[in-house]
Structure 1
């Protein structure tokens, strides 16, 4: 039981980090395509990416039961 809980916590961390990286990547991509400065939006995009990562992890756990 303990091994499964540790694995689930590790997957949650991976989802959060991947979501943050995805949010940052989308912001950088939009900045390049629009030729505008969007550095003031980095925090918001990373935060929204983290939220998406958490929601992805929650839905995965609910569908796994």
Structure 2
């Protein structure tokens, strides 16, 4: 049973990282469209920050379960 839970939690970590990266990209694209300024050089930073937020979300979720 513990092995199955471990695989599931690893899958959820991957989902939170991908979702965080996608959210960072969406936020940057939305700001780029709304402000009419060139923000393409910030795509990498926003995706990276989104990944960090996704990882922090996953860590907080794991700490709350214990």
Q: Is TM more than 0.5 here?
A: yes
Deviation at 1:36, TM superposition (A): 1.2
Normalising by structure 1, report the TM-score: 0.98
* Stretches of 4+ aligned residues off by more than 2 angstroms: none
Distance 1:36 1:14 in 2: 31
Aligned match of 2:37: 36
Unaligned runs of 5+ in 1: none
Normalising by structure 2, report the TM-score: 0.97
Aligned match of 1:14: 15
The total of aligned residue pairs comes to: 65
3-state DSSP of counterpart to 1:56: helix
Aligned match of 2:65: 64
Q: Aligned Cα RMSD in Å?
A: 0.4
Unaligned runs of 5+ in 2: none
